[in-house]
Amino acid sequence: MNSRDSGDRVVKAVHGLKTTEPDPEYELELSRHLHKTYDRPGLEELYRRFAQGEGWLDRLMRRAIWRAVAKRFGQGIDLGTGLSFKHLETFEIGDGTFIGDQACLQGRYDGRCLIGRRVWIGPQSYLDARDLVIEDEVGWGPGAKVLGSAHTGIPVDTPIIRTDLSIRPVRIETGADIGTNAVILPGVTVGRGAIVGAGSVVRENVPPLAVVAGVPAKLIKMRVADDPTD
């Protein structure tokens, strides 16, 4: 059944086809000034003043503050409202990326979070970003989560929350798509161009161009030329 037979309406992509425009020089200069003027706690306090606003100035100030704190912050990034973060200084974010409203990005002081170019991260997403790489042009559905760490639970006579934390790298390769409310578990790599179905729980690596779904996620099919993705 093709899209016309099923009644689907196919339209052009929006975010993926946008041209990334350079940020104006006054915004870059503002970031440099903020970086020189405030320490990191001061910048985080300043950010809270602009975190919820939807106006032009609020968005500009969010970008300027994130750029002043982050390890690397590209051009043309769009930051939604109500975003929360920890250890933004360990983040590298590429050009043209969008991070939706109320997303939470939790880094670690000695961690690494790399988000590539033209990534789309949906509203209310959660990223355990202590050892996380999301490569270029990844789609990350609203409410999707990645967990990069878990308590060892050893010794067994100790409350689990008091046991050591095992941090395992998570890698989402170029062009992959993570469905709404999916969960990616520690140590998983989702291969290039793969699709993770909505609500799936992924505990094993996903091959490039695979389509997986379910709890736990299982292989549904492999993507081939001109084959619909649903």
Q: What is the pTM of this model?
A: 0.92
Mean pLDDT is lowest, of 12-26, 129-143, 170-184, for: 12-26
Read off the pLDDT of each residue in 148-171 and give the average, rounded to a whole number: 95
Predicted local distance difference test score (pLDDT) of residue 2: 52
State which fold the 81-224 domain adopts. UDP N-Acetylglucosamine Acyltransferase; domain 1 (2.160.10)
Instruction: Flag whether pLDDT at 4 surpasses 60.
Output: no
Find, among 12, 11, 18, 10, the residue nearest to 137 by Cα: 18
Read off the pLDDT of each residue in 71-100 and give the average, rounded to a whole number: 97
Instruction: Flag whether pLDDT at 228 surpasses 70.
Output: no
**Letter for the amino acid at 81?**
T
Report the C-alpha gap between 156 and 36 in whole angstroms: 48
Report the C-alpha gap between 6 and 10 in whole angstroms: 11
What is the rounded radius of gyration, in angstroms, for the C-alpha atoms of the chain? 19
Instruction: Flag whether pLDDT at 230 surpasses 80.
Output: no
Buried b (16+ CB within 10 A) or exposed e, 122-160: bbbbbbbbbbbbbbbbbbbbbbbbbbbbbeeeeeeeeee
pLDDT band at 1 (very low <50, low <70, confident <90, very high): very low
From residue 162, alpha-carbon distances to 2, 155, 159, 186, 207 in Å are 54, 10, 6, 19, 35
Instruction: Flag whether pLDDT at 72 surpasses 80.
Output: yes
Buried b (16+ CB within 10 A) or exposed e, 183-203: bbbbbbbbbbbbbbbebbebe
Find, among 84, 163, 166, the residue nearest to 127 by Cα: 84
Instruction: Flag whether pLDDT at 149 surpasses 60.
Output: yes
What residue spans define the domains of the chain? 23-69, 81-224
Neighbours of 86 (CB within 10 A): 16
Instruction: Flag whether pLDDT at 15 surpasses 80.
Output: yes
pLDDT band at 206 (very low <50, low <70, confident <90, very high): very high
Predicted local distance difference test score (pLDDT) of residue 18: 84
Read off the pLDDT of each residue in 31-52 and give the average, rounded to a whole number: 97
From edge to edge, which strands make up the β-sheet containing 145-146? Answer: 84-86, 104-106, 126-128, 145-146, 183-184, 201-202
Mean pLDDT is lowest, of 16-25, 62-71, 90-99, 197-206, for: 16-25
Report the C-alpha gap between 56 and 77 in whole angstroms: 13
Averaged confidence pLDDT in the chain? 94
Question: Under a CB-based contact definition with an 8 Å cutoff, are residues 186 and 165 in contact?
Answer: no
